Amino acid sequence: MKKMKEQGVIPSETKAQKYALKAQEKADKPQTVGGEEFSASMSDALKQKNEKSFFFGILAVVAVIVLLLIGALADILTLAFEVNRIFGYAMSAITAILLILFVLRPVCKVLGARFFITDITSEGLNVTKRKNRRALKEVSTALVKYNNDPKNVRFRYLSDENTEAIEAALKSGNSEELRAALKKAYATDVGSCANSMIFKSAGKVFLRTSVSQNDKIDAVSVLLTNLSLIKQIVGIYGYRPSYARLFKIYVSVLRNALIAYGMENVNWFNVFGKFFSGVAKKVPFVDTLVDSAVQGTVNAFLTILVGYKTKRYLCSDYKKQEKIETTEERGDEEVRIASALAKEIRKKNKDKADALAE
């Protein structure tokens, strides 16, 4: 073999081989943006596991939420059947309809929303860019359409300036301008609207859980309000977070409901008894007031956390798709040509070697 190389039968290194090697090295090299390697996942959400597994995880969490709600309403349904069998079936049907409207419908709306692909590797970079650009246009078009619709005048949340900027970018077809206009809208109008929704939902939870003084009603109230809040935030942004992050959000909702359910069993007046030892003698029912205030405050705070977690994930996904867009395109065509040349050279050298061997 060494002798054949010396005779020039098998060139040790041709121009085509150099080209093939260089192109292959370029393809294998991790794509980087700001020091981040795209050979690794763009998203570190729950250790980069498969998105499909998180989708089924979300379904499992929703199933637990439904069972929890059914358990909370079991006493009412049992009482309804004791009154009358027909009345019991009617109440069961009403319960099923309410679960569909206030639990399954909000979750389905969120899962069916548009999304940006952020958990990718360099292998699927070009396809991801095309899909994200399409999603960007669809999100922008939906926002403009909603805010320009006369039926939604009372519920508009985009200013005329931001709406016009997004419209102009859509007409020009410039992705960079569209991305910048949308980013400005998210940082101002959309962000403010989301904050308003979060605090309104927290206020509702505070009032309901403070007044109810029933662990099951508290859990139901927290669950339904949190699920509605997530749907509203996703609705005004126009896209949803990844399945991995949605899984985290819905787990937080379930945790909040369980905390609300368990808080009723704690006597908060005794916990803070030292601070109210003098007041208790002067103010009647101070123990009930303290318990109500603490329960309402904790549940409202947990609702705020869910809202801001959803908002933070949405903003993070938007930034990541921007980073993906600025990544250099991979030379797929170049690699294909180089691989074909290298294969042809190997075949020719093998044919020559076989001819000499004969």
Q: What is the pLDDT of residues 44-87, one digit of tens each?
A: 433 444 678 899 999 999 999 999 999 888 888 888 899 889 99
Output the CA angle 189-190-192, nearest 5 degrees. 65
Give tens-digit pLDDT for 240-257: 999 999 999 999 999 999
Query: Where does residue 173 fall: left (phi above 0), alpha (psi -120 to 50 degrees), or beta otherwise?
Result: left
Say how far apart CA 358 and CA 153 lie, in whole Å.
87
Q: Specify if 308 maps to a domain.
A: yes
Average pLDDT over residues 141-164: 92
- Cβ burial of 145 (10 Å; 0-12, 13-18, 19+) is exposed
Supply the pTM of this predicted model.
0.75
Tell me how far the alpha carbon of residue 157 is from its chain's centroid: 22
Name residue, tokens 């093998």: 350
With the C-alpha atoms ordered 261, 266, 271, 273, is the resulting torsion angle positive or negative? positive
Q: Specify if 208 maps to a domain.
A: yes
pLDDT for 228: 96
Q: What are phi and psi of 100, to 5 degrees?
A: -65, -45
Q: How many domains in the chain? A: 1
Percent of the residues in the chain that have a pLDDT greater than 70, as a whole number: 72
Residue count (the chain) = 358
Residue 170 has pLDDT above 80, yes or no: yes
Q: 70 by DSSP, 3-state: which?
A: helix
Q: Specify if 247 maps to a domain.
A: yes
Q: Specify if 314 maps to a domain.
A: yes
Residue 183 has pLDDT above 60, yes or no: yes
Residue 106 has pLDDT above 80, yes or no: yes
Output the CA angle 92-97-100, nearest 5 degrees. 125
Say how far apart CA 149 and CA 288 lie, in whole Å.
48
Name the token pair of 61: 């969490």
Percent of the residues in the chain that have a pLDDT greater than 90, as a whole number: 47
Name the token pair of 176: 């960079």
Check if the beta carbon of residue 256 is closer than 8 Å to that of residue 302. Answer: yes
Residue 168 has pLDDT above 80, yes or no: yes
Residue 212 has pLDDT above 50, yes or no: yes
pLDDT for 271: 52
Q: What are phi and psi of 337, to 5 degrees?
A: -65, -45
Give tens-digit pLDDT for 93-105: 999 999 999 999 9
Q: Specify if 296 maps to a domain.
A: yes
Q: Which residues have a Cβ under 8 Å from the Cβ of 273 and sit 6 or more positions away?
A: none
Name the token pair of 301: 């705070």
Mean pLDDT score across all residues of the chain: 79
Q: Specify if 140 maps to a domain.
A: no
Q: Specify if 266 maps to a domain.
A: yes
Say how far apart CA 50 and CA 273 lie, in whole Å.
49
**Within a 13 Å sphere around the CA of 31, how many CA atoms are in the beta-carbon half?**
20
Residue 188 pLDDT class (50, 70, 90 cuts)? very high
What range defines the domain where residue 48 resides?
Answer: 27-120+184-343
Q: Specify if 353 maps to a domain.
A: no
Name the token pair of 231: 């749907």
Give tens-digit pLDDT for 19-39: 445 545 544 444 444 334 433
Say how far apart CA 145 and CA 167 lie, in whole Å.
10
Residue 281 has pLDDT above 90, yes or no: no
